[in-house]
Structure 1
Amino acid sequence: MKDWREYYKSRICTAEEAVKCIKSGDSVVVGHACSEPQTLTRAMSERYQELENVKVVHRVGQGRSLYVQPKMEGHFRHISLFGGPSTRQAIAEGRADFIPRNISEIPELFTEGHIPLDVALVTVSPPDEHGFCSLGISIDYTLKAAKSAKTIIAQVNNHMPRTHGDSFLRVDEIAYFVPVDEPLIEIPRPEITEAEIAIGAYIADLIEDGSTLQLGIGAIPDAILSSLKGKRDLGIHTEMFVDSMMKLFERGIVTGRYKNIDRCKITFTFALGSQRLYDFMRDNPLMASHCGRYTNNAKIIALNDQFISINNTLMIDLYSQACSESAGTRQISGTGGQVDFVNGAWFSKGGKSFLCLSSTFQDREGKINSRIVPTLPPGSIVTTPRTAIDYIVTEYGMVQLKGKSTWERAEALIGIADPRFQDDLVRQAQEMNIWRRTQRIE
């Protein structure tokens, strides 16, 4: 690209100047998760009294999400593709809207015009010598959304790593550049419980050398890490790249040698973790970034043999329906990529998918409740249907439900429930006519 440096220099401005292009009635998409351009979203939010009915679209908001505050109602309307800590309350109170969608399908919401976009707010690395800026740790929907917007405003941050793969915007695609030197959002490592260590050990026993892994968010990936010593030549093809995966590579467990696509590469669409993780990704030829349409495409996932998908769920009923995103009618998160990877593993030669959950939880009143229930509470969202379920894992064991009848599934799930709840689950299974009295009580 000729003279990109002159173009870049002429388009540098402050955040306050850049967001003046946002008008009432516009739709604004925001970069995802830890790559949220916080200076830009803050400057936009501070204009709230000048604006009306501006839609703000994104998945997980890891920043403050000022535009969902009650005083912003009528000025901004958040359109959520995945509920997060800063946006759940607004969704619950009707001040934000939720769109259910698999990650693999989100880019097309923008490219096909289902969600028209006026402005994209993104974080990028400084331009390289060829005049390209990298979206770094969040390609996911951000790349396709930015290219679909009429105007791109980029927060240029030295802390954003330049990542290899399909992560780049040309300088001349960006209307305004706002230089900002602020640390990227980091996600602290979760504390690992004894239940999660037990779950990790069960799963690790079924991971064969040469397998390709996808792991979801939470403590389970770290728990599995400690159980994978001695494994060889594992690969990574995941939506979310986290610290535990980096450590698997550093310990020589991950090589990607037997992947059928992106061989010897770590395939990802976004990263959540520490600054050390982001530094590891910087200009690392090991990394292969792609949009969610690629990483989460079940047909592409299935091209890797022995694909292992590991995700969390919140609750499962005796019909083996898994709720991973809501507490009754309250939206907690979203479908994310769970169904994408469950389906991909299903069609992979030798593939396996695991849904993990601790057997119990403590409610606000201090009462212990079972996560394995007769039927899901009213309004609960079925994230992964029973037709797609493979393995379910709790700290009390692991069962494979693939090929099992309804009563066999109920019996297997009761067997890995907390023992304090098993007799009551049996009685309720009998009332539901999905118990064959093969194990426990009359």
Structure 2
Amino acid sequence: MLDSLDAAIDALLARIGGPLHVGAPLGLGKPHRLLNALYARVERDPSRRLHLYTALSLDPPGKGKGLEARFLGPFVQRHFGDDFPRLAYVQALKRNALPPHIEVEEFYMQSGAMLGSAQAQQHYASLNYTHVARALGDRGVNAIVQKVARSADGMRLSLSCNTDLTFDAIDAIVARGLPRPLLVAEVDPGLPWLGGSAAVDADFFDIVVSPPGPHPKLFGLPRQPVNDADYAIGFHASTLVLDGGTLQIGIGALADALCHALVLRHTDNAEYRRVLRALLNTGADDPALGPFAEGLYGCSEMINEGFRRLVEVGVIRRKVVDDVELMQRVDAGRASDDDLARLEREGEYLHGAFYLGSPDFYQWLRTLPEDVCRGIGMKRVSAVNELYGGNEALERLQRRRARFFNSCMIATVLGAAISDGLEDGRVVSGVGGQYNFVAMAHALPDARSALMLRATREAGGRLTSNIVWNYGHTTIPRHLRDFYITEYGIADVRGLSDGDCIAAMAAVADARFQSGLLDTARRHGKLRDGVAVPEEAAGNTPEHLRTALAPFRTAGSLPDYPLGSDFTTVEQRLVKALGWLKTGTATRSGKVRAVLAALTAGRCDDAEALGRMQLAEPRGLGERIEARLVGLALKRTA
């Protein structure tokens, strides 16, 4: 056990004589301090080439400018800490300043963070999550570095947050006749301990370093507010979930809304159904949408905040074991008392390949009672994201009635999805596991895939539809089309003809874009004359949605932060106000109107909010205008 990062780098460089081909986990499991020490050493020595293979290199928000800086500065300092080790290679990538002898290849990027980096864009690898281990073998990775947790006696280490690729990558590398990669662990005392298949003997790693404190905080994802459109999408999606089934979800406000809907369905079913009726959802009176009697089994590449809440209220509780014959008896209703006792004793209710969330989420994992924690199994991504290549018969039994929920940015009326990139070729994020889950939904007899998206987006003061005729990039091809969900309903397009698919997709589009979509389809001979959207779809407008959900917002059934917030109460008010202001000032004319309205609106009486923005006593014309703009936004969003 080493206690110096420099000593760990010395040992790594001594063991590997030539070019360094280093793999590092995505997200939380990336050892920032160790990687920064390696980067600093290699940066000074052009004779040592470094190829880093990784994904989701997490970087806290920058300081921003103007009002954004006034809000973000104190929040970033409090949430991430002054000593958070920003990845040196990420800062270089953002400046297109990586030295020639260092190359970073990622298969998934922090959303939107690298759109302006030519170096990052050129070295992006478009891979399904389950194909990454194979690619690491092809690239001859000779070292893997990873953040780990350590047991109290120091004899065991836990891969904890990232069991996803390490084991699969080692197997893939060795299968090519290459030496087992050098394994280097950085111990983080703040990382939650998870046992089971996540735990290994300490000598599994060749080098273990435990740097002295103080230890920086774990990267916490700030939880975002959930708006009316997000809630509508989440409630529509929740009607597809079957009791006794399997659940996979992504991350973000849409997933948070879905989880809240499932929680409400289980804990206050009457209110849940009232929301569905307000949304004109046909499932509002479906007897199958009662509370969860059997519960769900969670099987998702990423375990996040939503799963925490679903476990807490008892929605996620259906257990599985790795025993085909026992699972067959359970599935057939022939399980004995001994079977059920073993299922309760040994079963796991939640499987994931990595986890990421808020500081509250990490604290939940740290403090789980042992019997509850034992029900969480961290697995290889090959075991979670696919059926083939492992124990397919077992996984089919475990993943009964599966519902796979993911988000996309854009969908075409012919059923293709755009989730990871732009039509100019630039990558926003990555494919990740989305294709895996969509394909699995078609491979399992009673499974479905649902892609969720907001019907419109606004940028630069211009409103556009997220349901389009065609797009110059595709993540999910149209032949894998299944459920699409917007705030205006569910389009079930699996197996439909093109004409019927177009009609169904137009029916969940914003009313302002429906006729244009249908006219384009007719012009190209894909839709017969006379086809129109249903009468109720003519009401697909934000105003109608806002009116429908307003009573539930007022009553507190649909809170802004259903899974908790990382913002203070005053910051929550400011997030809403600054969001309104950003939209309203996206154009030059909007800025002029906002300034004029602010100057004539009178002073703001929210002294706490102005104080938080360092505008309680503005100095100079610029600060006085900023104070008035914030005051106007607070009034409009109160």
Question: Do both share a fold (TM > 0.5)?
Answer: yes
In structure 1, what is the Cα distance between the partners aligned to 2:238 and 2:485?
12
Q: Measure how far apart 1:418 and its partner are.
A: 0.9
Deviation, 1:246, is: 0.9
Range with greater deviation from structure 2 (156-165 or 173-182): 173-182
The answer to whether structure 1 residue 50 and structure 2 residue 76 are counterparts is: no
Write the mapping of 1:26-45 to structure 2, written as runs, cut at 5 A. Answer: 26-45=20-39
- The aligned amino acid for 1:45 is Y
**Greater CA deviation, 206-215 or 158-167?**
158-167
1:18 aligns with one of 8, 28, 52:
8
1:1-50 CA distance string (max 9 Å, x none):
xxxxxxxxxx3141122123346621111122012211111112222121
**CA 1:118/1:165 → structure 2, altered by over 3 Å: closer, same or farther?**
same
* Alignment partner, residue 202 of structure 1: 236
Q: How does 1:118-267 map to 2 (within 5 A)?
A: 118-127=142-151, 129=153, 131-145=155-169, 148=173, 150-180=181-211, 181-228=215-262, 229-230=265-266, 231-232=291-292, 233-257=295-319, 260=327, 263-267=347-351
After TM superposition, the structure 1 = structure 2 runs for residues 369-380 of structure 1, keeping only pairs within 5 Å, are 369-376=464-471, 378=472, 380=473
User: Counterpart of 2:106?
Assistant: 80
Q: 1:4-15 maps to which residues of 2 (within 5 A)?
A: 11-15=1-5
1:423 matched to 2:515? The reply is yes
Q: Distance in 1 between matches of 2:116 and 2:196?
A: 35
Question: Which of 319, 339, 359 is equivalent to 2:414?
Answer: 319
Structure 2 unaligned blocks of 5 or more: 60-85, 174-179, 267-290, 322-326, 329-345, 534-638
Q: How does 1:278-297 map to 2 (within 5 A)?
A: 278-282=362-366, 284-297=373-386
In structure 1, distance between residues paired with 2:22 and 2:56:
15
Task: State the AA in 1 paired with 2:44.
Answer: Q
CA distance in 2, matches of 1:176, 1:94: 29
In 1: Cα distance, 2:110 partner to 2:139 partner = 20
Q: Secondary structure at the match of 2:513?
A: helix
State the partner residue of 1:353: 449
Query: Whole-Å Cα distance in 2 between the matches of residues 257 and 131 of structure 1?
Result: 29
Alignment match, 1:61: 57
Quick one: distance in 2 between partners of 1:168 and 1:258? Answer: 20
Q: Which whole-Å CA distance do the structure 2 matches of 1:162 and 1:297 have between them? A: 26
Identity among equivalent positions (%) equals 23
Does the Cα contact within 8 Å between 2:113 and 2:428 map onto a contact in 1? no
Render the CA deviation track for 1:343-379: whole Å, top value 9, x for unaligned: 222233421210000011122x221111111111x3x
Q: Hey, what's the Cα distance between the residues in 2 that align with 1:411 and 1:77?
A: 47
SS at match of 2:44: helix
Return the offset for 1:146: 5.9
- For 2:427, the aligned partner's letter is Q
Q: Which has the higher strand share?
A: 1
Opposite residue 138 of structure 1, the aligned amino acid is N
Equivalent residue for 1:8? none
Distance in structure 2 (CA, Å) of the matches to 1:401 and 1:133: 47
Q: Secondary structure at the match of 2:150?
A: coil
SS in 2 for 1:125: strand
- Aligned partner of 2:499 in structure 1 is 407
Distance of 2:231 and 2:168 partners within structure 1: 38
Cα gap change, 1:157 to 1:398, in 2 (>3 Å)? same
Matched, 1:340 2:436: yes
Task: Tell whether the 8 Å contact from 2:105 to 2:120 is kept in structure 1 after alignment.
Answer: no
**Aligned partners of 2:181, 2:351: CA distance in 1, in Å?**
29
The residue number in structure 2 matching 1:71 is 97
- Contact kept? 2:410, 2:417, Cα under 8 Å: yes
Q: Distance in 2 between matches of 1:306 and 1:279?
A: 32
- Letter of the 1:296 partner, please give it: N
Query: Which residue type is aligned with residue 192 of structure 1?
Result: V
Residues 205 and 95 of structure 1: CA distance in aligned 2, closer, same or farther (over 3 Å): closer
Q: State the Cα distance separating 1:164 from its structure 2 match.
A: 2.8
Q: Equivalent residue of 1:138, what SS?
A: coil
Residues 356, 393 of structure 1: 8 Å contact kept:
yes
1:244 to 1:427, Cα distance in 2 relative to 1, 3 A: same
CA–CA separation in structure 2 for the residues paired with 1:134 and 1:368: 48
One-letter amino acid matched to 2:377:
A
The 8 Å contact of residues 77 and 95 in structure 1, kept in 2 or not, is answered as: no
Contact 1:90 1:96 in 2 (8 A): no
Cα offsets for 1:293-350 (capped at 9, x unmatched): 1000135554321101000011111221111100221101111111111122223342
- Alpha-carbon deviation of 1:129? 4.3
Return the alpha-carbon distance in structure 1 between the equivalents of residues 381 and 504 of structure 2: 34
Is the 8 Å Cα contact of residues 503 and 532 (structure 2) preserved in structure 1? no
Aligned length: 425
Cα distance, 1:132–1:87 mapped onto 2, change above 3 Å: farther
> Which sections of structure 1, spanning at least 5 residues, go unmatched?
1-10
1:358/1:87 Cα in 2 relative to 1: closer, same or farther (>3 Å)? closer
CA gap 1:25/1:160 in 2 versus in 1, 3 angstroms: same
Q: Distance in 2 between matches of 1:43 and 1:227?
A: 45
**TM-aligned CA deviation for residue 94 of structure 1:** 5.6
Q: Distance in 2 between matches of 1:374 and 1:227?
A: 31
Distance 1:39 1:338, change over 3 A: same
| SS, match of residue 375 in structure 1 | coil
Structure with greater Cα Rg: 2
- Structure 1 pair 258–169 and aligned structure 2 pair: CA distance change class (3 A): closer
The range that moved more, 223-232 or 417-426, is 223-232
Aligned CA RMSD, in angstroms, stands at 2.4
